[in-house]
Amino acid sequence: MKIANWKIGARLGASHALLLLLLAGVALCGVQGLVRANGALHHIADVNTQKVLLLERMATQTHIVARVIRTIALLDDSKVAAVEHKKIDAARGTYEEANAALERMPLDEAGRRMLADIKQQQTATRPLNEQFLSMSHANRQEAVFFFAATSGTYQ
């Protein structure tokens, strides 16, 4: 059965049916593309935004620790310094919570490297901060000189 032998109505109907099938295929491809784009958008909104918020919380807590350490360096009253030290403990607790939540999130290779770099910086600076804080209890003048000599990134 040749198409040329079909009546004009049958040929028009078949061509319209073929066009409708092609349009349905294009629409299906479009819907699948929208589903993929929606998944990527949800990843950005749910995962990446949460990572940024956690990193911002960690940065804020680092800033609080640095600011409080500078305040302690200027204080003469040990009772006020003890109150300030509690702020450091609270900031470090919040920092550790955010860091733990960030470590539980899905990370790519760049994210794991960044987290390792943050951990390395923390490992290098926290002992210096602790040394300054212990020195500030015993000998404020020596602690201030130590602070000035070793100041950098704090946590």
> Over the stretch 32-62, which tens digit does the pLDDT of each residue have?
999 999 988 887 888 889 999 999 999 999 9
Non-local (6+) Cβ contacts of 103 within 8 A are: 115
What are 77-96's pLDDT values in tens digits? 888 988 999 999 999 999 99
- C-alpha 75/C-alpha 88 separation (Å) is 15
- C-alpha 78/C-alpha 98 separation (Å) is 30
Angle at 89 between CA 86 and CA 94, to 5 degrees: 130
What are 92-111's pLDDT values in tens digits? 999 999 999 999 998 889 98
The amino acid that residue 2 corresponds to is: K
pLDDT of residue 45: 83
The answer to whether residues 103 and 116 touch, using CB atoms and an 8 Å cutoff, is no
pLDDT of residue 142: 79
The residue assigned the tokens 């909104």 is 45
